[in-house]
Each structure stands twice: as C-alpha cells, then as structure tokens.
Homo-oligomer: A and B are copies of this chain.
Amino acid sequence: MSGMAAGVTIYDVAARAGVSIKSVSRVLNGEANVSPALRESVNTAVAELGYRRNLSARSLAGSSSSIIIAMVDEALTIEHWRSGRGNDYLSRLELGLLMECRQADYYLMVELVDYGAATLRRDLSAMLAAIRPEGVVLTPPNSDHPVVLDVLDEAGVAYARIGPERDLDRGVRIRMDERQAAEDITRHLIELGHRRLAHIAGPSAYSASRLRREGFEAALRKHGLAVDESLILEGDFTFQSGLQGVERLLALAERPTAVFAANDDMALGALQGAAAAGLSVPGALSVAGFDDTPSALFSTPALTTIRQPVAEMAAAAARRLVPTLRGEMPRSSDLNEETVPYQLMVRGSTGPLA
C-alpha cells in the first residue's frame, strides 16, 4: 500500500480522515481556522496514503501554479550544442534555483526562448499562458530585455532579474557588486607590489565591462597610481582576444607586470600568450581574471579570479519569487533588491615579481 501514491486524490485523504475535501485543502495550504485535531488527522491520512497534491489540478483551479521558469537563451544553447560544451553559468544558476525550489515545494521548468525572434512578444505571452508560472528568472543580458519585461508585467507574472543593468525599478533585482569586485582584485595585484597594471576590458556594450573597468581604475587611483590609457585594451570576452591583447601589451616599450582581464576566457588567453612569449607566470607577469569558470582551476598556473556567486544569486531570486519563503518581510526598500557577495579566489597566476 505504501508505494502506491499514484492515483491517490484529495478525496481519498478526506475519506480516510473522515472530513471534507475542503478541510484537507485547508490543512495542505496552511490556512487559518483549522482545529488541531482536524489538522492532525488530515496529516496522518496524508502520510499514510503517501499523498501529494497534483500539480496540474492545483494550477488549474487556483491562482498559484508553484512553477518557476528559468528562461534560457535559445541562440546561446544552439551555440553550445554545436561546440559540444555545456553552459557553466546556466548550470550554476539552475543549481541555485533547484535548491531553493526544493525547500518551498516548487517546481522548476526550463524554457528555451528565442530572444531574437520577431514574434518574441507573442511567443512569450503564449508560453506564459500555457504554463502560467508563478515566477520567472531572467539572466543577463536578457535581464534587461524591454520586451520581456513588458510582457511579464502585462501578464502579471513576477520575475527576478539576475544582474540587471537598466530599468532598476522593475521586478526583483539580484546583483553582485561588479565594480567593487574589480577594485578588489586590482588591489590584490597592487598589494603584491605591482605598479604597472594593464587591463583587458570587455566590449563596451556590456555595462559589466564598464563597471569592471571602473573598479580597476578606482583601485589605481586609491593607491596613487596613474591610469595609463595605453595599458587598457578592449577585448571581446574571447580567449583569442585575450591572447592578442597580451601580445600587444608585451610588445610595449614599458611592459606591464600584471594584467587584469575582464573575464576568465581572456585571462586564459593572456596566460597562453605569456607562455608563448617565454614569460613565467607569476614570476614575470601576473594574470587575473573574472568569473571563475571551470577552466580557471585547471590552467597552469591556476587563475586568480572573482567567483561570481551565480548559484547564490539564483537562490536569492527564487526566494524572492516564492511567497512561502518570502514571508520574512524585509525592510521595504530592500524588498526588491539584493546584492550577493562575491569571492576573490587567489590562485597561482598572481604573485610578486620574481
């Protein structure tokens, strides 16, 4: 009897507990006005029967579906498919969402979205109509997508935005302090004794690139170092551009002794460029990245970088979306925004000059 949970309905529970289905529903939903005795007998019946409410029936009948959707960029997914690689960011995101969903008895659905489609608006509202999720989690760069935010607002679906950069008054915002993180890692280099620091920035279209660059420059200034424009290059977040960037930097008359790349892929490229030029890292050149991608740990030497708290941000996002957990009632101004701490991972690629 104990394993046969399939087919057990609220009527079975009600019958066993000798109450009405409404009472069972009340207990299950933690509503008020339920006598302890009734609650007790219902809970017993639920346990004995191995009952669990049917998700479809709940979302059809009620206003809450208990479903959270992670929207995934289709173009990016196809790209990953082609290259045969997974998506570390997405993986960490999901991990955070899953951990939180489990606690709140929520369900996680993953949906592919073609953000470039001309029919995006319609696609999205059709999807929302079909699933009626209780909340949606948005990731960069789509956390800022105006059409997406509009559709979500119109449909009255709650949403959390990871790393939003614009429209900072809409939805739940979950972020990390990119600027401060860049400043921290730069200060780490300065404290190692470096005075000629270079930065391989990301594409200026991304405001994360801008923030990281700002953090870099802020650290220099705070330590009385001049910002030398010839030591700041713009890459495109790829391994190649990091490699090329470091080649240019090493060709300068006055070489930098440390390079901070705006992401790990570029830093890894820089590492390879340094090796190709016969420079020992960190003896002759220190290299730092940003993101803490899986490869950062396995490069030689392992990469000093900033670990983005992706899973933690995702968990925070889910927490804000789920009423059960939301009950804590934070101060009103905090309500819709949360900054999650990052971590500076100091590894072998940075050190004092040998």
B-binding residues in A (CB < 8 A): 2-8, 50-60, 65, 72, 74, 77-78, 80-81, 84-92, 94-96, 98-99, 101-102, 107-112, 121-122, 125-132, 151, 154-156, 268, 272, 275, 292-295, 297-300, 307, 309-311, 343
Contact = CB atoms under 8 A, between A and B. Distances in A.
B7 A129 contact: yes
B72 A98 contact: yes
Nearest to A89: B86
A95 B86 contact: yes
A46 to B, nearest CB: 10
Given A86-B92, A109-B107, A81 B54 contact: no
A337 to B, nearest CB: 23
B122 A50 contact: yes
Contacts of A87: 86, 91, 95
Contact of A300 (B60, B107, B275): B275
A65 B292 CA distance: 39
A91 B86 contact: yes
A295 B292 contact: no
B109 A109 contact: yes
Q: Is the interface of A mostly helix, strand, loop or mixed?
A: helix
A56 B294 contact: no
B54 A130 contact: yes
B54 A132 contact: yes
Contact of A109 (B57, B108, B268, B275): B108
A92 B77 CA distance: 10
A122 to B, nearest CB: 5
A35 to B, nearest CB: 26
Interface centre among A51, A74, A99, A268 (most CB of B within 10 A): A99
Given A3-B125, A51-B129, A107-B131, 11 more contacts: A56-B65, A80-B95, A85-B88, A86-B88, A86-B89, A87-B95, A90-B94, A91-B91, A107-B111, A110-B110, A275-B300
A204 B51 CA distance: 40
B311 A122 contact: no
A2 B268 CA distance: 47
Given A3-B154, A86-B88, A293-B294, A110 B112 contact: no
Given A52-B130, A294-B294, A77 B95 contact: yes
Given A60-B60, A88-B294, A298-B299, A112 B98 contact: yes
B56 A129 contact: no
A65 to B, nearest CB: 7
A125 B125 CA distance: 33
A102 B95 contact: no
Contacts of A94: 90, 94, 110
Nearest to A78: B99
Contacts of A56: 55-60, 65, 132
A81 B110 contact: no
Contact of A3 (B108, B122, B300): B122
8 closest A-B pairs by CB: A86-B91, A295-B298, A5-B125, A52-B126, A91-B91, A86-B88, A56-B60, A56-B56
